[in-house]
């Protein structure tokens, strides 16, 4: 598991807002926090130390966060703070910009400048949720004078590199319970590379990115492309290379380098079999023919599916379904790779 999940409901109601203010003060540069819901406050936060950056998925009742010039003079950690908004709305005054942000928007603020961030409608009790990330300015390949053009601006995370970054940050929070502490630094590096790629793309300064940063962003894009196209039986390395405008040999080289030696074909096969296995264990799909489940995951040849499934899980698809539906608490461990 990575990080610690903290709920205000573990604290007496009278102390919740003060506790929240103290907690947020430890995750961000000094600022003031206020809320019209202070007497009945509810929030949660997961603190995740990811090596080069700190990530914290959070949800809270409408609040206001103000960092003044006095705060900046008193303490400046020289960091950027990034927020991916998932639910609710936020208004932001920062770097001479007054902007409004909605779900799917990302924004970044500079700890060296004042800001005023507030829920779009303080009177409503609907929670605001999102993912925050803090990282030192020195780790970003984009120079500070260029970054000023991005400060406070809503950056869409609905497509392209922004969508890759959004999926990755949200995935970190969702999978925190299953991730190992030893994964933290590596995953943090990937997250920072995606942030760098997004900012460089927005500023048209991609040349400033290191080859390794570009590769991390490319591999993450390939990973998402594979996940989104598992249903297509034509999904294979040549198709993936063509979709990303790279050579087949380069695809194989960078994929194995960044995926701990796993080949592209092995990755596709593993994810297809995992998807089929999950569906076979779902009671709601017990009446769906096994062949239809396999086709859904891009495995139209019944004999090939049965052989690959048995090699991975030690049982035929039919045997696995019977066992899983009769004793769902136990799952067979994958057999050693052959």
What's the pLDDT tens digit per position in 182-192?
888 888 888 88
What is the arithmetic mean of pLDDT over 117-125? 73
State the architecture of 4-196 in CATH terms. Answer: Sandwich (2.60)
**pLDDT at 23 > cutoff 90:** no
- The answer for residues whose C-beta is within 8 angstroms of residue 139's C-beta and 6 or more apart is 52, 53, 192
Structure tokens at 318: 């039919």
Distance CA 188, CA 118 (A): 28
Rounded Cα–Cα distance for residues 193 and 210 (Å) = 9
**Region 9-19: what's the mean pLDDT?**
89
List, for residues 218-266, the tens digit of each pLDDT value. 887 888 888 888 999 999 999 998 888 889 998 888 888 877 778 899 9
Q: Quote the distance between the C-alpha of residue 58 and its chain's center.
A: 13
Averaged pLDDT, 37-54 = 89
Q: Which CATH code is given to the segment(s) 229-338?
A: 1.10.10.60
Q: Which long-range contacts (CB under 8 A, 24 or more apart) does 226-230 make?
A: 226/264, 226/267, 226/268, 226/271, 227/271, 229/298, 230/268, 230/271, 230/272, 230/275, 230/297, 230/298
Least confident of 134-143, 232-241, 306-315: 134-143
Is the distance from CB of 291 to CB of 268 less than 8 angstroms? no
pLDDT of residue 51 exceeding 70: yes
Work out whether strand 54-60 and strand 79-87 pair parallel, antiparallel, or are unpaired.
unpaired
Structure-block tokens of residue 281? 């264990």
Is residue 324 pLDDT above 70, yes or no? yes
Determine the Cα–Cα distance for residues 153 and 172; give it in Å rounded to an integer.
24
Query: How many angstroms separate the CA atoms of 205 and 141, rounded?
Result: 10
pLDDT at site 337: 39
pLDDT of 335 above 60: no
Question: What is residue 111's predicted lDDT score, i.e. its pLDDT?
Answer: 93
CB 89 within 8 A of CB 29: no
**SS3 assignment, position 289:** coil
Give the relative orientation of helices 248-258 and 211-228 as an angle to the nearest 10 degrees: 100
Cα 86 to the chain's mean position, in Å?
Answer: 12
Average pLDDT over residues 269-285: 92
Max Cα distance, the chain (Å)? 70
Going by C-alpha positions, the residue among 136, 143, 138 that lies closest to residue 199 is 143
Residue 124 confidence (pLDDT) = 63
Distance of CA 177 to the CA centre of its chain: 14
* Secondary structure (3-state) at 176: coil
Q: Any residues with CB less than 8 A from the CB of 166 and at least 6 apart, and which?
A: 84, 104, 106, 157, 158
Confidence category of residue 330, pLDDT binned at 50, 70, 90? very low
Q: Pick the residue with more confidence: 163 or 331? A: 163
Q: Locate the domains of the chain by residue range.
A: 4-196, 229-338
What was the pLDDT predicted at 218?
Answer: 82
52-79 pLDDT, tens digit per residue, is 889 999 999 999 999 999 999 998 999 9
As a residue count, the chain comes to 338
User: Between 206 and 38, whose confidence is greater?
Assistant: 38
Mean pLDDT of the chain: 87
- d(CA 137, CA 52) in angstroms, rounded, equals 11
Burial class (CB in 10 A: 0-12, 13-18, 19+), 74: exposed
């Amino acid at each position: 598991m990575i990080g610690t999940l903290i709920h205000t409901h573990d604290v007496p109601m009278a102390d919740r807002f003060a506790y929240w203010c103290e907690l947020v003060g430890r995750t961000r540069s000094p600022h003031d926090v206020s809320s019209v819901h202070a007497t009945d406050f509810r929030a949660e936060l997961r603190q995740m130390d990811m090596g080069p950056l700190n990530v914290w998925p959070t949800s809270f009742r409408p609040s206001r966060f103000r960092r003044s010039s006095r705060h900046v003079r008193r303490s400046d950690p020289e960091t950027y703070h990034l927020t991916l908004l998932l639910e609710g709305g936020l208004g932001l005054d920062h770097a001479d910009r007054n902007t409004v942000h909605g779900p799917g928007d990302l924004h970044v603020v500079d700890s060296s400048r004042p800001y005023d961030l507030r829920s779009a409608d303080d009177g409503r009790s609907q929670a605001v949720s999102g993912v925050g990330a803090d990282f030192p300015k020195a780790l970003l390949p984009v120079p500070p004078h260029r970054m000023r053009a991005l400060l406070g601006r809503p950056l869409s995370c609905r497509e392209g590199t922004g969508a890759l970054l959004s999926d990755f940050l949200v995935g970190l929070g969702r999978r925190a319970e299953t991730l190992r502490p030893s994964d933290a630094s590596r995953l943090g590096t990937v997250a920072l590379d995606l942030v760098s790629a997004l900012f460089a793309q927005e500023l048209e300064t991609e040349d400033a990115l290191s080859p390794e940063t570009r590769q991390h962003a490319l591999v993450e894009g390939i990973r998402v492309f594979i996940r989104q196209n598992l249903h297509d039986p034509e999904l294979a390395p040549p198709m993936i290379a063509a979709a990303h405008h790279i050579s087949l040999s380069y695809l194989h080289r960078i994929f194995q380098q960044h995926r701990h030696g796993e080949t592209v074909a092995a990755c596709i096969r593993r994810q297809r079999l995992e998807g089929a296995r999950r569906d076979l264990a779902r009671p709601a799909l017990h009446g769906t023919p096994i062949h239809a489940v396999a086709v859904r995951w891009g495995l139209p040849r019944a004999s090939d599916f049965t052989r690959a499934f048995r090699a991975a899980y030690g049982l035929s698809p039919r045997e696995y379904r019977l066992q899983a539906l009769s004793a769902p608490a136990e799952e067979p461990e994958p057999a050693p790779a052959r």
